[in-house]
């Protein structure tokens, strides 16, 4: 007999009702149904008048199950901590990983946090809000607008190994009235971003040179998408002494880190938002929060921690 307990079904309760009418004792019913004596005995007590009714007993059991407090690994304290971390933009996977890294006493698994998210209706707090990526279709995009374009196929293969620091991915994020230029380093995941009024090749090139100037010694290659705003790539390459490559049109996964990071930035500045009215401090704060997010690829360290080699206690601080 399987010793693992399982709830009685409605069909089994009808069977118990029939056997009761035939005069079977609780022990005999248990043997007949291959159930525990205690299970049958407790079941018969659901009808205190001595006349067992399957429908009444099943309704009583369902009512108790509906209002029962289910066991959960998430205490109230852990739930509040998870909610706080979701509000600052961390994913369930990052929260679980960071809890393990910091040896948090109430650490729970990623699946437990997802179960909590679904139970408490926190899906709106997820970075992607549960939406799936839908690939776009096209052929050349803006590739024909870029003189001297060098395809990603010509980029050295070792860059894919993500071992050497100094290989960047670049893109622009549009708003209602201006744009954000974003640069992300492939190994450290560090994000740099600044605002430009218009998406001209001159403005974008100037912004990239300004952002990467402090990292000039750590800038070996840059991979852009095929937007016409990157037509000034040769000027950027000359200033930074690096090589510039372009992903294939509509192959966003070739710059997956940059696309993912842009999605995180969108959490702070949604599509259609008036970026022009933002203060510089607000943009810098969003950049800092993203750079403080623990990353699975960095063993749940944040990009800043990985780059500087200095640890902070993120779980305790929030």
- Three-class HEC string of 115-132: HHHHHHCCHHHCCCCCCC
Q: What is the mean pLDDT of residues 276-295?
A: 93
In a domain, 209, yes or no: yes
Do 153 and 234 fall into the same domain? yes
Domain count, the chain: 3
Comparing 49-53, 213-217, 225-229, 270-274, the range with the smallest average pLDDT is 49-53
What does the pLDDT read at residue 311? 80
Question: 205 in a domain, yes or no?
Answer: yes
> Measured between alpha carbons, how far is 281 from 290 in angstroms, rounded to an integer?
14
Q: What is the mean pLDDT of residues 160-176?
A: 93
pLDDT at residue 1, rounded to an integer: 46
Backbone angles phi, psi at 180, to 5 degrees: -115, 130
In a domain, 318, yes or no: no
H or E element in which residue 181 lies: strand 179-185
CA distances to 159, 160, 262, 290 from 170, in Å? 15, 16, 10, 16
- Phi, psi angle pair for 89, to nearest 5°: 105, 5
Q: Which two tokens stand for residue 118?
A: 């679904």
Min mean pLDDT across 17-21, 66-70, 112-116, 198-202 is at 66-70
Query: Same domain for 55 and 173?
Result: no
* pLDDT given for residue 284 in this prediction: 95
Do 250 and 186 have their domain in common? yes
Q: Report pLDDT digits (tens) over 225-236.
A: 998 999 999 999
pLDDT at 129: 66
Q: What is the pLDDT of residue 297?
A: 92
Give a yes or no: residue 285 inside a domain: no
The candidate with the shortest Cα–Cα distance to 244, out of 164, 154, 181, is 154
Residues 156 and 261 in one domain: yes
Question: Strand 179-185 relative to strand 191-196: parallel, antiparallel, unpaired?
Answer: antiparallel
pLDDT of residue 59: 86
How do residues 60-95 score in pLDDT, each as one tens digit? 888 877 666 555 567 888 888 888 888 888 889 999
Indicate whether 257 pLDDT > 90: yes
Which letter, b or e, does each residue of 178-216 get, where b requires 16 or more Cβ atoms within 10 Å of its Cβ? bbbbbbbbbbbbbbbbbbbeebebebbbbbbbebbeebe
pTM: 0.67
Q: Is residue 312 in a domain?
A: no
State the chain's mean pLDDT as an integer: 87
Q: Do 149 and 236 have their domain in common?
A: yes
- Whether 2 has a pLDDT exceeding 60, the answer reads no
The whole-angstrom separation of Cα 204 and Cα 194 is 10
CATH code: domain of residue 231:
3.30.420.10
Give long-range contacts, CB 8 A cutoff, 24+ apart: 104-113. Answer: 104/315, 106/74, 106/75, 106/77, 106/78, 106/81, 108/73, 108/74, 108/78, 108/82, 112/73, 112/74, 113/74, 113/82
| Residues near 218 by beta carbon (within 8 Å), at least 6 away in sequence | 165, 166, 185
In a domain, residue 292? The reply is no
125-157 tens-digit pLDDT: 887 666 665 655 554 556 677 899 999 999 999
Per-residue pLDDT at 195: 95
Report residue 88 CA to chain centroid gap.
12
Average the pLDDT over 262-278 and give the result.
90
119 and 48 together in one domain: no
Is there a contact between 258 and 169 (Cβ–Cβ < 8 Å)? Answer: yes
Summarised one tens digit per residue, pLDDT across range 32-65 is 998 988 889 888 888 877 788 888 888 888 887 7
Same domain, yes or no: 63 and 81? no
Q: Which of 67, 100, 116 is the last residue of a domain?
A: 67
Specify whether the CB–CB gap between 135 and 250 falls below 8 A. Answer: yes
Q: Residue 300: inside a domain, yes or no?
A: no
Q: Which residues span the domain enclosing 25?
A: 10-67
Specify if 263 maps to a domain: yes
111 plus 171 within the same structural domain: no
Percent of the residues in the chain that have a pLDDT greater than 90, as a whole number = 48
- Amino acid 172: pLDDT: 95
Q: Are 55 and 88 in the same domain?
A: no
Are 97 and 197 members of one domain?
no
- Let me know whether 163 and 269 are in one domain: yes
């Amino acid at each position: 007999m399987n010793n693992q307990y399982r709830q009685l079904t409605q069909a089994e309760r009808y069977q118990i009702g029939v056997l009761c009418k035939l005069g079977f004792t609780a022990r005999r019913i248990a043997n007949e149904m291959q159930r525990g004596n205690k299970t049958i005995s407790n079941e018969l007590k659901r009808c205190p008048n001595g006349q067992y009714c399957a429908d009444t007993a099943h309704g009583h059991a369902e009512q108790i199950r509906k209002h029962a407090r289910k066991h959960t690994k998430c205490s109230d304290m852990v739930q509040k901590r998870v909610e706080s971390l979701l509000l600052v933009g961390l994913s369930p996977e990052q929260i679980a990983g960071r809890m393990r890294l910091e040896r948090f006493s109430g650490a729970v698994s990623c699946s437990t946090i997802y179960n909590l998210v679904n139970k408490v209706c926190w899906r709106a707090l997820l970075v992607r809000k549960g939406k799936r990526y839908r690939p776009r279709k096209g052929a050349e995009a803006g590739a024909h607008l870029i003189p001297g374009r060098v395809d990603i196929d010509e980029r050295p293969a070792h860059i894919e190994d993500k071992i050497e620091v100094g290989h960047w991915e670049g893109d622009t994020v549009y708003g209602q009235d201006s744009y954000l230029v974003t640069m992300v380093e492939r190994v450290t995941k560090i994000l740099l971003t600044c605002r430009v009024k218009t998406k001209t090749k001159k403005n974008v090139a100037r912004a990239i040179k300004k952002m990467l100037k402090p990292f000039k010694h750590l800038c070996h290659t840059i991979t852009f998408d095929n937007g016409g705003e990157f037509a000034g790539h040769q000027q950027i390459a000359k200033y930074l002494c690096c090589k510039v490559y372009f992903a294939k049109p509509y192959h966003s996964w070739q710059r997956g880190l940059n696309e993912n990071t842009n999605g995180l930035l969108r959490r702070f500045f949604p599509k259609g938002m008036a970026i022009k009215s933002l203060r510089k401090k607000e943009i810098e704060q969003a950049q800092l929060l993203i750079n403080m997010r623990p990353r699975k690829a960095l063993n749940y360290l944040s990009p800043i921690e990985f780059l500087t080699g200095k640890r902070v206690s993120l779980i305790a601080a929030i």
